[in-house]
Amino acid sequence: MSDPTPNLIATNISKRFGITQALDDVTVSFYPGEVHALMGENGAGKSTLGKILAGLHAQNTGTVVINGRKLIPGSLDDAFHAGIRIVHQELAQCPNLSVAENLCLHDIPTKGMTVDFAEMKRRAAALVHQLDPDIDVSKPLGYLSPGRRQICQIAASLDKNPDGSMIAKVIVLDEPTSSLSISEASILMDITRDLASQGLTIIYVSHRMSEIFTCCDRVTILRDGKFVATNIVSKIDEPTLVEQMIGRRIEALKNKSDNTNQSSSQSIETQALKTQIGTADHPVDLSAEPILKVRNISSPGKLDDCNLDLHPGEVLGIGGLVGAGRSELFDAIFNIDTRAKGSVTIDNTQILGKGIRTAMAAGLGYVPEDRRIQGLFFNLGIDENILAPVMHTMANPLGIRDRATELDAVAKRINRFQIKTASLSQTTPGELSGGNQQKLLIARWMTENTKVLLLDEPTRGIDVGTKSEIYKLIRHAADDGLAILLVSSEMPELLALSDRILVMGDGQIKGQLTEDQMTQTNILTLATQEKTFAQAT
Amino acid sequence: MTKAKNAPPKNPNPPLLKRLLAHQESGLVLVIILIMALLSLYGVLTPPIKQKTLIKLHENATIVRLDTQGNEHEFLAANKIAGYRVTLDGQTTEYSSNTIERYDSADRTLIQVRSVNRFFNKSNLVLIATNASFFAIIAVGMTGVIILAGIDLSVGSIYGLCAIVGAMVLTNLPPETGWYIAVPLALLTCMTVGTICGFANGAMSEGLSVHPFVITLGMMAILRGLTVVIPQGLFGTQSIGGFPTSFTTGFFKAEFYGVYPVLVIIMILTAIAGWFVLSKTVFGRRVFAIGGNETAAKYAGIPVKKVKILVYTITGALCGLSACIYLGYYGAAETNAGNAYELQVIAATVIGGASLMGGRGTVIGAVLGAIIIQLINNTLIIFSVDTSYNQIVMGAAIIIAVVIDQTKQRIQARRA
């Protein structure tokens, strides 16, 4: 299957983003005719490696060599001419233009002064129909299903030399199935295998275990930006791959009952975090009446029949991979997603479908995932950013603000959450560090009136010192009786903070892990499971 | 500039001058002062214009003529009069013949003529402010709309419709109606029509999720059409006049010290109210929050749609207020009233420092912007330039103002 000589070699690749070391001295070789998977947890560096190979990012050190020629780092153009193509979701397509125009956008054929639509259609059809003869290239791209759009993107890479040979040598597929249904995904995997059999190298970035075993020849595992191993798929099993992704010898899921000593199954990192944060003052009483009850919540294309209970003083972690529907679950509970159906109660009061303000009045708070887009007002001062949801409660009946009360409340919160700011009202969030911005948002919602707090990635992109401050704030608030739902992609953080963990995938809750089952392996095993169709069976 | 860089960035009590200069409006005030200084200087260098004022004597007052020695005379040849002494209740006022052209004994009126600077004189300055008032009042509301990252193109048409409907009510009042009936009734009529139109703008763009540009563009045409059709259908005319005098010269065009300041006072009061609402009320801060980051506002539980609809409604109501003072000042309504006002209003707001991207803008800036626009108009009149050039200069002024403002923002952002 694989030729003896590799055609694409990445040597000693390192890449930094700010304070994050995304890739650290990674060396991988790729052979013609193979489907080579890059696998790892969120943030392991698999997508970054794919993008460096395609010239979308420039590596800090290391070289990429294709067929003996060294590529210019970060030059999409150079990689393109060398025959490397990348298909990934962030690369913009124009949904308002036809399939044909999208495929010929880099080189629109003309006849005199006008566009030669016939030639354009002919060229596009020649590309697309290699993969799917049923696609009408004159239709707007936006009318196609996500699967077919993905196919069109791949087809754009399949341009041929006059002699009929493929120009592309390497195609990088970055999470190609993340927005596809199962049947679409399986068509895509067939296409992938077919292209490899024509001699192309396919680099398949994915975190879906089943796909690796269905369509890949070899799989390279990355962890925390470091190379772990390259395996031949037919000679390896799932537990070994999971183990490589997590980095320690652990028992497979089926042997989990053997885990008598739970602390030994947690990584040293998690344990260190736990010691640092401190454990709960008293165990959560799971038999008590839950404060938040979520029943059969579904939302078209996002959530599928999710249920959960949250008790006062409990930190319930929600694990899962990117695109699992965790933020979507929070949006539904907080009534941002107005199409969600089901039931959400706080203290047995129904809040779902009754608007954000009802949810807030019932004691719900939400620190969303992206603080810049969903959280902060960069044109307003720190005081108004913190008080945005409650400013009306501090005003007189005419709506005229009471500055004294406001400033008093802000000063108290800034003090409690240790937000470092030059001034209460003159400083805007843009002048704060990421950590202080995040603390500002937590200060906005962690108030005496909040009974249930939704925290979505509360420590993303902030420094270690502030992270540990936030961990302690979360722990103390829970000890004081606040019920917290926590989404985090950082495993040690999730494991160390949570009293219980639910794992999500494909908009469903895949399973629950109690304290003695909470391990990285169990989370990943649940998260990478196939979609389940409860209704179908 | 270099000095500012070396200074500690967070000085809690910078000197007053520096604090004033740091204000967004300081640049506008400087521009206004500069234009005024230039025009005054031009006025000094060119022959002054003669301004006539009539001084009506009180019925109990007595008047005597003075000669060069200051002796009083009952009658005196015109070429020997050095002045007049007016006595009322034991108080005397003297007028020099330098300024008094003559005394009209039949009307018991002193005719005063003074040579004044052709720009810097009381009536010209008040006239500039008055002309600015009509669209400055609307610009107060437009500031809110633009802070929301919205736009309202229909303000000129709302203004026109309010004026026509208000005029139809006023023209049916008996001529001797008191101001205490005519003024509240006209205000109520005009502002009700404006409120309804503004609410329609907001409710449609929010309810149908259509960009306000489209909704208000449509409304601009619809309302202008109504403004023409209604008076033609009912009266067969293009203009409606004949209001109670208590409404016009009795109130909105009441004379004080030779000028008509009522409109300017209303404009200033509106601006103060707008400033207060935007900076001191929860509603006002919500407007800024939505304009700064609408997604975040939603996640913070701010009732985004309600706030937006209310801002459009208030803008409509202010169009009504402006239309009402227009009726009072001119004593008639034309069907083309407020034509192309949307451009002047948006220009005033933008020159005043509001960002079309939303999240930034001040009412005071918008009013100053309106005054700058009128000053430019006045400049062209004083220099006797054909008024057709107005548009060219105005367009250039808008572009220059915005470019300067954005450059300033970029420099500030780079420093921070």
| b/e burial code for range B340-349 (CB count within 10 A of at least 16 → b) | ebbbbbbbbb
Task: Identify the helix (H) or strand (E) that includes residue A407.
Answer: helix A403-417
Which of A357, A375, A399 faces B296 most closely, judged by CB atoms?
Answer: A375
Of A359, A378, A401, the CB nearest to B292: A378
Residue B410: count of CB within 10 angstroms of its CB:
10
Segment B174-223, tens digit of pLDDT: 988 888 999 999 999 999 999 999 999 999 999 999 999 999 999 999 99
Torsion, CA A322, CA A323, CA A324, CA A326, rounded to 10: 90
Cβ-defined contact of B285 to A391 (cutoff 8 Å): yes
CB contact under 8 A, A380 and B301: no
Dist CA A364 CA A338 (whole Å): 16
Both structure tokens of A147: 């699967």
Which tokens is A509 given? 């809750």
Chain A residues with CB under 8 Å of B296 CB are: 373-377, 388
Q: Which residue of chain A is at minimal alpha-carbon distance from B290?
A: A377
Band (B3; pLDDT cuts 50, 70, 90): very low
In chain B, residues with a C-beta closer than 8 Å to the C-beta of A367 are none
The average confidence (pLDDT) of chain A is 84
Residue range A236-256: average pLDDT? Answer: 62
* Residue of chain B with shortest Cα separation from A431: B416
Helix orientation angle between B389-415 and B363-382, rounded to the nearest 10 degrees: 140
Cα A188 from Cα A208, distance rounded (Å): 14
Average pLDDT score over residue span B318-324: 97
Q: pLDDT at position B405, please?
A: 77
Q: Measure the CA–CA gap between A85 and A198, rounded to whole angstroms.
A: 16
| The pLDDT of residue A483 is above 80 | yes
Residue of chain A with shortest Cα separation from B295: A374
Residues of A in contact with B293 (CB under 8 A): 373, 376-379
pLDDT in tens, A387-437: 999 999 999 998 899 999 999 999 999 999 988 888 888 888 988 888 899
**Taking residues B379-388, what's their average pLDDT?**
82
Chain A interface, mutation test: which of B299, B302, B304, most A Cβ atoms within 10 Å? B299
DSSP code for A400: B
- The chain B residue lying nearest A401, using CA atoms, is B281
* pLDDT in the model for residue A535: 38
**Is pLDDT at A260 greater than 70 in this prediction?**
no
Secondary structure (DSSP) of B132-192:
HHHHHHHHHHHHHHHHTT---TTHHHHHHHHHHHHHHHHHTS-TT--HHHHHHHHHHHHHH
B285 contacts A401? CB cut-off 8 A:
yes
Q: Does domain A1-83+169-249 correspond to CATH entry 3.90.1150.10?
A: no
CA-based nearest distance A119→chain B, Å: 37
Closest partner residue to B303 (CB to CB) among A357, A366, A378 is: A357
How far does Cα B244 stand from its chain's mean position?
24
- The SS3 call for residue B87 is strand
Angstrom CA distances, B67 to B76, B78, B87, B96, B103, stand at 8, 10, 17, 10, 15
Instruction: Provide the pLDDT confidence category of residue B153 given band limits of 50, 70 and 90.
Output: very high
Contact A366 B299 (CB under 8 A): yes
To test the contact with chain B by mutation, choose from A335, A376, A379, A394 the residue with the greatest count of B C-beta atoms within 10 A, namely A379
A→B interface, C-beta within 8 Å: 334, 336, 356-357, 359-360, 366, 368, 373-380, 384, 388-389, 391-392, 395, 398-401, 422-423, 430-431, 444
Q: Which residues of B touch A (CB under 8 A)?
A: 9-10, 12, 280-283, 285-286, 288-289, 291-293, 295-303, 359-360, 416
Domain coordinates of chain B in residue numbers?
A: 52-116, 122-406
Least confident piece of the model among A33-47, A418-432, B18-32? B18-32
Q: DSSP secondary-structure letter at B104?
A: E
Which of A374, A392, A400 lies at the smallest CB-CB distance from B296?
Answer: A374
The string of pLDDT tens digits covering residues A355-393 is 999 999 999 999 998 888 899 999 999 999 999 999 999
Q: Is the pLDDT of residue A250 over 60?
A: no
Q: DSSP string covering A149-176, please?
A: HHHHHHHHT--B-TTS-BS--EEEEEST
- What mean pLDDT do residues A316-344 have? 90
Q: Which residue of B has its CA nearest to A427?
A: B10
First to last CA, chain B: 14
Nearest to B293 among A360, A376, A423 (CB): A376
Which residues contact residue A332 at a Cβ distance below 8 angstroms, ignoring those fewer than 6 apart? A297, A299, A302, A303, A340, A342, A344, A352
Question: Taking CA atoms, what residue in B is nearest to A429?
Answer: B416
**pLDDT tier at B388 (50, 70, 90 boundaries)?**
confident
Which residues in chain A touch residue B302, judged by CB atoms under 8 angstroms apart? 388-389
Nearest CA in chain B to A393: B282
> Which helix (H) or strand (E) element contains residue A329?
helix A326-333
Contacts of B106 (CB under 8 A, 6+ apart): none
Is residue B26 within 8 Å of B20, Cβ to Cβ? yes
Q: How far is B174 from chain A (nearest CA, A)?
A: 39
More confident residue, B388 or A454: A454
Mean pLDDT of A70-77: 88
Which among A79, A438, A6, A387 has a CA at the least distance from the CA of B288? A387
The set of residues, in sequence order, having a beta carbon less than 8 Å from that of A368 and lying 6+ positions away, is A327, A330, A374, A375, A441, A456, B299
Between A530 and B142, the higher pLDDT residue: B142
pLDDT band at B6 (very low <50, low <70, confident <90, very high): very low
Which residue in A334, A351, A357, A380 has the most chain B C-beta atoms within 10 A of its own C-beta, making it the best mutation to test that interface? A380
* Measured distance CA(A308)–CA(A295) in Å, rounded: 7
Which is more confidently placed, B3 or B282?
A: B282
Within a 10 A sphere around the Cβ of B8, how many other Cβ atoms? 7
Neighbour count for residue B239 (Cβ, 10 Å): 15
Give the count of Cβ contacts less than 8 A between chain A and B: 77
The minimum CA-CA distance between B354 and chain A, rounded to whole Å, is 12
Side chain identity at residue A306, one-letter code:
C
Pairing of strands A500-505, A315-319: parallel
Is the pLDDT at A329 greater than 60? The verdict is yes
Q: In what order do the strands lie in the sheet with A500-505?
A: A364-367, A452-456, A483-487, A315-319, A500-505, A508-513
A contact test, residue of B275, B279, B285, B311 with most A CBs within 10 A: B285
Assign A536 a pLDDT band (cuts: 50, 70, 90): very low
Q: Using DSSP, how many helices (H) and how many strands (E) does chain A show? A: 17, 22
Find the range with the poorest average confidence among A219-228, A238-247, B357-366. Answer: A238-247
Q: Which of B13, B293, B362, B412 to mutate to test the interface with A (most CBs of A within 10 A)?
A: B293
Dist. CA B72–CA B93, nearest whole Å: 13
Q: From CA B268, how far away is CA B258, in angstroms rounded? A: 20
pLDDT at B12: 54
Question: What pLDDT is recorded for position A280?
Answer: 66
Question: Residue A109: what are its φ and ψ, rounded to 5°?
Answer: -70, 140
B293 contacts A377? CB cut-off 8 A: yes
Give the helix ranges, DSSP H, for B293-362. 294-299, 304-330, 341-351
Nearest chain A residue (CA) to B415:
A431
Neighbours of A381 (CB within 10 A): 19
Domain boundaries in chain A? 1-83+169-249, 94-166, 376-453
Chain B residues in contact with A395 by the CB 8 A cut-off are 281-282
**Contacts with B301 from chain A: Cβ below 8 Å:** 356-357, 359-360, 388-389
Taking alpha carbons only, the member of A462, A418, A425 closest to residue A440 is A418
Grade residue B11 by pLDDT with cuts at 50, 70 and 90: low
Tokens of A175: 């999470």
Residue B224 CB burial class (10 angstroms; 0-12, 13-18, ≥19): buried
Residues of A in contact with B303 (CB under 8 A): 357
pLDDT of residue A294: 94
The CATH classification number of B122-406 equals: 1.10.3470
